Amino acid sequence: MSLPLILGAAMFGGAGATFVPRVADRLAVPRGTPARITCAHCDTPTPDWVRAGGACRCRPAPMWTAGAGALAAGLLSWGLGASPALLVLLPALLLGVLLAAVDVRCHRLPDPLVGALALGTVLPLGAGAVLAGDPGRAGRALLAAGLCGTAYLLIAILPGHGLGLGDVKLATVLGFVLGFAGWPAVVAGLVVPHLINGPVAVVLLLTGRARRHTAVPLGPSLLAGALAGLLLA
């Protein structure tokens, strides 16, 4: 364990996540709707995508994005150490925070963001395994991606599933990353999200913030489960 590495990664994750609120505010719109160009709360024009802090001057910066980015990056560096995979997954982690922020707000996982996550993880990890003389690792990752995607697709087509195709696509990408780490990581990545979402749904019901058929976004739990899988691998 390298304390400087953990602290450096946490600083990177926290600092990078401060740019999430503005982008999330612009992308948290219904499917088929163009990205928002005004603040969702005060209609002030927000033409720029890059802004640290709050999405708009009318609201304070949400602390959870920077906190989540710092905590997740610190844990990831603690679990992976100074490995080439860490260089790939740290930037991907920021995309994960953004996906979680958008999903919480509008129950969507935009395809461009999931696609960017795939490009930023599947290609470098797969190519790295092949170049390192370990193509079997890349093959295992592809198999895990197929299994995770198929499992979630089967759930998505069931009546009353409450699962969207965005969740299926994200689960497929995360399945590749977990498969790259090993089968124990894949199992944890499949189980942990539901261990998280179940209690969350119960709390929302008990506090009156949700009803029996209210959809609970799965994206944040899928991402948290993937992080848990990487730590347990």
Give the model's confidence band at 161: pLDDT under 50 very low, under 70 low, under 90 confident, else very high.
low
In the predicted model, what is the mean pLDDT of residues 193-198?
A: 86
Strand partners, 45: 38
Phi, psi at 45, each rounded to 5°: -55, 135
Give pLDDT, residue 160: 67
Q: Band the pLDDT of 50: cuts 50, 70, 90.
A: confident
* Chain position carrying tokens 């790259």: 180
The model's pLDDT over 3-34, given as tens digits with 9 standing for 90+, comes to: 999 999 999 999 999 999 999 999 999 888 89
Model pTM? 0.92
Q: Does 210 score more than 70 pLDDT?
A: no
Supply 77's token pair: 């560096």
Q: What is the mean pLDDT of the chain?
A: 90
Handedness of CA 128, 132, 137, 139 (dihedral sign): positive
Q: Residue 132 to residues 18, 88, 181: CA-CA distances in angstroms?
A: 35, 15, 15
- Reply yes or no on whether the pLDDT at 197 is more than 80: yes
Is pLDDT at 83 greater than 80 in this prediction? yes
> Smallest Cα–Cα separation from 233: which of 14, 83, 93?
83
C-alpha pair distances (Å), 146 with each of 117, 142, 172: 16, 6, 7
Confidence of residue 205 (pLDDT cuts 50, 70, 90): low
